Amino acid sequence: MSLNYAIIGAGMMGQEHIRNVGLLPGASVSAIVEPNDEMAANATQLAVELGMPAPKRVQTVSDLVSANNVDAIVVVSPNDTHFGMMQELLHTNFPILLEKPTSTDVDQAWKLSNQASDRSAPVWVAMEYRYMPPVTRLIEEVRRGTVGDTKMLSIVEHRFPFLPKIDKWNRFSARTGGTMVEKCCHFFDLMRLITGSEPTRIFGSGGQDVNHLDETHDGDRADILDNALVIVDFENGVRASLDLCMFAEGSYWQEQVSVVGDAGKVEAFVPGPSRFWPGGGERASEVVISPRADKAPTREEVHVDGNLLAAGDHHGGTYFQHLKFQQLVTTGKGTPEVTLADGAKAVEMGAAAERSIRTGELVKF
């Protein structure tokens, strides 16, 4: 069965979705909703270059309902538009892939989850980091029992600063939900997935120390955290930490995930987007397994097809997520792997970290 996608918000990430839809079997982008003329033109040209018929540019979400060539919707507009957009979309029968964070506000995120509970068409929250091949490998090893009982989890992301965005929406916490929600909801989601447990308390320390200090927009100064350390305790006793630095684009590894249990350790090392690295070629990711018993760590390279790496900034994660979403929609079998409740919990943890950083308090759940 062929599948026609509508993209709502065809900016940087929307175009990553278009490139990845272009790699899926029997899939095409048939419509876009994009208020910015330049982005709409770029997205249309991209789709055509990928061999798709030119997608129709429609003005509103309700135009998508009357369009007869849309089978599924990908929401990729700025964070503060997601809730309002979903108020309209939840009344339709379209399967939806909704970019994280589901909302900038915790109550709204949970409201979405409740509103969708009796909806028959699926809503899948896009969490690309789950689907990066080295991270998937790490999770498989943890599930297989390689580390024994998980006790500690550490996630490090040392990367480039936030990129320029249309209307500078990502420079302001009011529009993003704050860095801990906007960017780090991915990592809080990974923490829940890897530990299989729920948080009991969060403490964070962070600041805006290097990036965007002189940036203003309509007289308002950018107020985005660019570094933080966050500690999370989980119900099952696992301790997790996040170390985020957004002025570290010289680092060889962008993400480092480490899980330690009573029997050993497994680590995943993921390089940043190839387009930002000299030469622009593939840098393989790595998974290292270090059992306690024999003190003989094994290191393996995880290779990702160059076409998948070139299609986005998420080490192939966007493609593998799309494959699963497509399978769910075309077969009608199964349920979304990342639900609106997962999305809401990730927003809630991000908001708790943001609050802890700003007030100094320990936030309990």
Contacts with ligand NAD by CB under 6 A lie at 8-14, 33-36, 39, 76-79, 81, 99-100, 126, 128, 165-166, 182, 314
Residue with smaller CB distance to ligand NAD, 20 or 77:
77
Nearest alpha carbon to residue 314 among 14, 76, 16, 112: 16
153-191 residues labelled b (16+ CB within 10 A) or e (exposed):
bebbbbbbebeeebebbbbbbebbbbbbbbbbbbbbbbb
Does an H or E element contain 232, and which? strand 227-234
Q: Could you tell me which residues come within 8 angstroms of residue 69 by beta carbon, excluding any fewer than 6 positions away? A: 4, 30, 31, 56
* Shortest spacing between CB 213 and ligand NAD, in angstroms: 21
Hey, what amino acid is at 108?
Answer: Q
3-state secondary structure of 119: coil
For tokens 């006790």, name the residue: 151
Residue with smaller CB distance to ligand NAD, 34 or 157:
34
* Shortest spacing between CB 302 and ligand NAD, in angstroms: 19
* Shortest spacing between CB 68 and ligand NAD, in angstroms: 21
* Shortest spacing between CB 13 and ligand NAD, in angstroms: 3
For tokens 């309209």, name the residue: 88
* Shortest spacing between CB 200 and ligand NAD, in angstroms: 26
* Shortest spacing between CB 155 and ligand NAD, in angstroms: 14
Distance, in Å, from the CA atom of 328 to the CA atom of 200, rounded to the nearest integer, reads 33
Residue with smaller CB distance to ligand NAD, 76 or 260:
76
Residue with smaller CB distance to ligand NAD, 13 or 193:
13
Residue with smaller CB distance to ligand NAD, 36 or 87:
36
Assign 3-class secondary structure to 84-112: HHHHHHCCCCCCEEEECCCCCCHHHHHHH
Residue with smaller CB distance to ligand NAD, 147 or 328:
328
Does an H or E element contain 254, and which? strand 253-261
Residue with smaller CB distance to ligand NAD, 44 or 79:
79
* Shortest spacing between CB 81 and ligand NAD, in angstroms: 4
* Shortest spacing between CB 10 and ligand NAD, in angstroms: 6
Nearest alpha carbon to residue 83 among 48, 58, 57, 109: 109
358 Ramachandran zone, left/alpha/beta (phi>0; psi -120 to 50): alpha
337: buried, middle or exposed (CB in 10 Å: 19+, 13-18, 0-12)?
middle
Numbers of helices and strands, H then E, in the chain: 12, 17
Residue with smaller CB distance to ligand NAD, 103 or 150:
103
